[in-house]
Structure 1
Amino acid sequence: MNDYTWPESATPKMVKKAYGNKLCSYTICLEAWRRGLNVEIYDPIFKVFSISDKNKKVIFNRSKSQLTSSLAVKITKDKQVTREYFIREGVPTPQGAFFEGYDKLKPALDYAQSIGFPIVIKPLDGSLGEGVFTNINSIDEARDIYLHLIEKLGHNKIIVEKFVKGDDYRIYVVGDKVGGAVKRIPANVVGDGVSTVSELIDTKNLIRKKNPFLSKGLIKIDKEILQYVQNAGLTLDSVLDENALLFLRGKANASAGGDVIDVTDEIPFQVKDVAVKAVKAIPELSHCGVDVLYDDQLNIVNVIEINSRAQIGVNMYPTNGIGRDIPSAIVNEHFPNSVLNVSLIKNNVIFDMDSVLNSLESSAIKSVSLTRPRLNTKDFIKLYFTLDDVGIDMKAQRSIARLASRHSVFGFVKSSAHKTILLVCADADKAKEFIYESNKYFSFENALKKHWLGAVEYSFNIKSERLI
C-alpha cells in the first residue's frame, strides 16, 4: 500500500492543470508568486519565465536557472565528458567509453569484453532513461542492443560502461545542500493470483495517473519489458502468483514507470556528500538532479549522471514517503530574503495559468507578468452558489465580472439557460457587498450555498457553458 505525504503548497488540486511538462515551471512560479516576487512568463508552453525583486532578475528554463551556464549544460548533456570531469575531481563513477555508429560496433564489443560483463549500453545524450539498457551479460545481447539503439531508436552516439551494483537514487542538490533524495525502483508489478501481467500493468497505471508527476510516466510495454517478462518465464497473459514481484525494467527512472520512495532523512551522509561533490565538479552548475547508485552492503557510491534541468516532481510526489518542497528550496537559493504568504496556501489560492498561457498564444504579446496576490486572511471566505432554473446572459456575466473586480473578489461565474454557478472568494465584508450588488441580476434567496474546498484561481473568470 502506498503511504505518502506531498507538499501542502502544491497539492494535486493546486497543480492539476500543470501535470506533465509544466509541473516544474508552475510549482516554482507558484512559490515565487506567493512570496510577492515579480513573475513574468514568456511562452505559451510555460518553458521560460523570470523571477525578480527590486535587486535582481533571474531567468529560468523550467527548473534550470541562468546561474547554470551554457557550458555546464553542454558538459552534462555529454555523459562521457561528464565522466571525465568526475574522474578529474575524484567523484566515483563507473568505467566507460564512447562509440559512434555502425563502424564502431566491433570496438564497442571488444571494449565490453575488456571491462567484463555485465555492462550498460545507453545513448550519449539521452534523457528520462530512454534507450538505457542495463545488466547486459553477453556479446550477443550487447550486439543486439547496440544495433537496436541505432536502427530503432535513432541514437548514433553510444556509451558502453561497466555495470555497477547498487540501488538507484535521484538526489536533488540546491547550492551545496541536498533538497531531497528518492530511491527509484524499476517498473514492477505485484501479483494477486488472479490478474494477468498485462492487467496488473493497467491497474498500476491507473494509480500512477493520480500522481502529479508519475501520471506522465506510465508503464509502456516495449522491447525491454517484453524481454524481462520472457526472462521470468512468463507472457503478458500469464497470471502472477499472489505477492509475487515481477520487475519489468532494469533502469529505475520514474519516467519509465519506476516507483519512487523518499529517503532524504535515511540516506547516509556519505551519499549526500558525493552528490554535492559531483555538482561542484561541473563548473557553473547551480541546482540539479544527480543520479547515484549506492550499494549499502559494500558501502560503495557511484554517480551515473547529472541532469541540469531535472524534473523536480520526482522528489515532490513520491510513491511512498515525504514529498520534498523543492520549489521552496530553489526560490530560497535565489531570493533568500523573500517571505511566503502562507494564507495563500491555507486557502488553496493559485494563479490563473490557463489565462496567462492562452494570452501568450498571440504573437503580439511577448510576456505576461502575474498580478501580485493581496489577501487578508481575516474572515476570508469561499462560497459556491448553485441556482437551478436560473440563467443569465453573457452581458450580465460580464457585469458580474466587473463587480468582482471592483470589490476585489475572485472566483468565477458560469451560466446556461437553466443553471447558474457562482464562486465567490474574498474577505467577508467584500463578499457581502459583491453578493448584495449581484442581486440585481438574480436573487440568491433560493441558491444552494456551499463552502468551496477546492483550489481557486486569483482572478474572476467567465466560464464556458460546456463546463457546467
Structure 2
Amino acid sequence: MATKLIHWFLSRFFLSGCSDYNPLEVRRACRSKAQARDAFEKNILPYAKGKTFIGLYSAFKFSDKYGFPLVIKPNVGGFSRGAYFPIENKVQLLKAGIGVKKWWPTSIIEQYLLGKNYRVVMTKFGIMSILRRYPPFVVGDGVQTIDTLINVENALRKKMQLMPITHLIPKNRAIKKHLKQQNMDFFTIPTDKQRVYLHHKISLKLGSSIEIVDKDTLTDNNKQDLIKVLNFFNANILGIDVICKQGIEVDFDAQQCIFLEVNSRPFLKMHDNPRYGEKPKNLNVFYNKLEQLEITDNEKY
C-alpha cells in the first residue's frame, strides 16, 4: 500500500503526463542521475563529472577539484525542477546547495557545459524523435520593446495552438531578474535580429520552446552510441538528454559534449506539437507499438 502511494505521489507531482512503457526493473535501474552517469561511463560516452551529495562540504570539495561553472540539481526529478545553473562562484554554490534540498534529500553537483540541448527518444523500435530545447527568448527588430516582443510571441503560440504543452512566456519576477542581470528590462528595445534570452533554464513553465530535429541529421556513430544506452538498461523506451557544443549532426566524440541523464518515463507530448521545425509524421507508428507492450508492474514503485 505504501509503495502504491509513493508511486501515485511521484506520478502526480513529478511525472504528470509522462509515458509509462517500461517495467519496474528498468525504471528502478535508471531512476537517478547517478545511475545514468554510471551507464555513460561504462559505455565510454562523454558525461559531466559529478558527485552525489547530502552535505554541502562534499559539494564545496567538488568545486575545489573541478572549478566552475557547475550545476546542482535533485538526484531524482525532472522538468528542470530544482536545478541551479550556471553556478559561477562559491556564494552561488552555497545558495544552490541549500535551495536544492526542498526537492529531494540527495543532490547532484556536476560540471556545466553551455551548448545545444537535445532530448533523443530512443525505443526498441528505433529512434522515435529528436528535440532541440531552447530557454525562453525573443528576437529583436530594432523597434519593439521586449514587453511587446513577448506579446507577439505569445500571440503566435496561441495561433499555433501550442498550449498547454508549450506555455506562454510569463512576465514574472524570474524573467525580470534575468533581464536585469543583462542590464535590460521589459522596456529595452533589442537591436534587429538580436536574440534576448529571458531565462537560462529550459523549463516549459517559463516559456521554453522546442524544435523538432530531422532524425537523418544524426550521425551513424551517434545513433550507435544512443542504442548502447537503450540496450544497457534493456529498456523499451528512453529519453536521453545530451548537450553538444556543435550539434547532434557531429559525432559525440569529435566535439565537446556531455550526456546528462536518461528518462525511463519521457514526456512525449512535447514531440507532438513543436514551436519550431516540422511536426513529425510517424509518431503514431511508435505509439501503436508501445501501447501493445505488456507491462504488468507499472503501478509499482
Q: TM-score, normalised on structure 2? A: 0.78
Structure 1 residue 232, shift from structure 2 partner = 1.3
- Asked if 2 retains the 8 angstrom alpha-carbon contact of 1:173 and 1:179, the reply is yes
- Deviation string 1:178-215 (CA, Å, 9 cap, x unpaired) is 12112212211112334433343343233334455553
The separation in 2 between residues aligned to 1:270 and 1:255, in whole angstroms, is 34
Match of residue 318 from structure 1 = 274
- Matching residue's letter, 2:46: P
Match of residue 164 from structure 2 = 215
Alignment partner of 1:215: what SS? Answer: coil
- Matching residue's letter, 1:249: H
- Asked if 1 retains the 8 angstrom alpha-carbon contact of 2:45 and 2:225, the reply is yes
Structure 1 residue 255, shift from structure 2 partner = 5.3
Query: Is 1:198 matched with 2:152?
Result: no
Match of residue 105 from structure 1 = 56
The separation in 2 between residues aligned to 1:161 and 1:205, in whole angstroms, is 34
Match of residue 130 from structure 1 = 81
Percent identity, please.
Answer: 21
- Matching residue's letter, 2:260: I
- Asked if 2 retains the 8 angstrom alpha-carbon contact of 1:91 and 1:277, the reply is no
Match of residue 41 from structure 2 = 87
Structure 1 residue 154, shift from structure 2 partner = 4.1
Structure 1 residue 246, shift from structure 2 partner = 0.8
Query: Structure 2 matches for 1:121-270, cutoff 5 A?
Result: 121-150=72-101, 154-175=103-124, 177-211=126-160, 215-218=164-167, 219-221=169-171, 224-254=174-204, 256-263=206-213, 264-270=215-221
Q: TM-score, normalised on structure 1? A: 0.52
- Matching residue's letter, 1:96: G
The separation in 2 between residues aligned to 1:305 and 1:223, in whole angstroms, is 29
Segment of structure 1 superposing worse, 172-181 or 84-93: 84-93
Structure 1: unaligned runs, 5 residues or longer:
1-46, 48-60, 337-468
The separation in 2 between residues aligned to 1:206 and 1:149, in whole angstroms, is 34
The separation in 1 between residues aligned to 2:256 and 2:223, in whole angstroms, is 13
Alignment partner of 1:127: what SS? Answer: coil
Match of residue 295 from structure 1 = 245
The separation in 1 between residues aligned to 2:163 and 2:221, in whole angstroms, is 28
- Deviation string 1:271-304 (CA, Å, 9 cap, x unpaired) is 333222222222x421121111122285244321
Query: Is 1:331 matched with 2:288?
Result: yes
Bigger fraction of residues in strand: 1
Query: Is 1:278 matched with 2:232?
Result: no
Alignment partner of 1:296: what SS? Answer: coil
- Asked if 2 retains the 8 angstrom alpha-carbon contact of 1:184 and 1:253, the reply is no
- CA RMSD across the alignment: 2.8
The separation in 2 between residues aligned to 1:123 and 1:222, in whole angstroms, is 24
Structure 1 residue 95, shift from structure 2 partner = 0.8
- Matching residue's letter, 1:166: G
Alignment partner of 2:270: what SS? Answer: helix
Higher relative contact order (CA 8 A, sep 6+): 2
The separation in 1 between residues aligned to 2:66 and 2:109, in whole angstroms, is 10
Among 69, 76, 85, the residue aligned to 2:23? 69
Query: Measured at CA, do residues 201 and 109 of structure 1 come closer, stay the same or move farther in structure 2, by a change above 3 Å?
Result: farther
Alignment partner of 1:171: what SS? Answer: strand
Query: Measured at CA, do residues 292 and 176 of structure 1 come closer, stay the same or move farther in structure 2, by a change above 3 Å?
Result: farther
The separation in 2 between residues aligned to 1:332 and 1:154, in whole angstroms, is 35
Match of residue 250 from structure 2 = none
Query: Measured at CA, do residues 171 and 137 of structure 1 come closer, stay the same or move farther in structure 2, by a change above 3 Å?
Result: same
Alignment partner of 1:291: what SS? Answer: strand
The separation in 1 between residues aligned to 2:76 and 2:116, in whole angstroms, is 22
Query: Measured at CA, do residues 247 and 326 of structure 1 come closer, stay the same or move farther in structure 2, by a change above 3 Å?
Result: same
Match of residue 35 from structure 1 = none
The separation in 1 between residues aligned to 2:59 and 2:289, in whole angstroms, is 45
The separation in 1 between residues aligned to 2:206 and 2:217, in whole angstroms, is 25
Structure 1 residue 72, shift from structure 2 partner = 1.8
The separation in 2 between residues aligned to 1:281 and 1:172, in whole angstroms, is 15
- Matching residue's letter, 2:179: V
Structure index of larger Rg: 1
Runs of 4+ in 1 over 6 A off after TM superposition: none
Query: Measured at CA, do residues 334 and 313 of structure 1 come closer, stay the same or move farther in structure 2, by a change above 3 Å?
Result: closer
Query: Measured at CA, do residues 113 and 260 of structure 1 come closer, stay the same or move farther in structure 2, by a change above 3 Å?
Result: same
The separation in 2 between residues aligned to 1:213 and 1:272, in whole angstroms, is 29
- Asked if 2 retains the 8 angstrom alpha-carbon contact of 1:129 and 1:256, the reply is no
Q: How many residue pairs align between the two structures?
A: 269
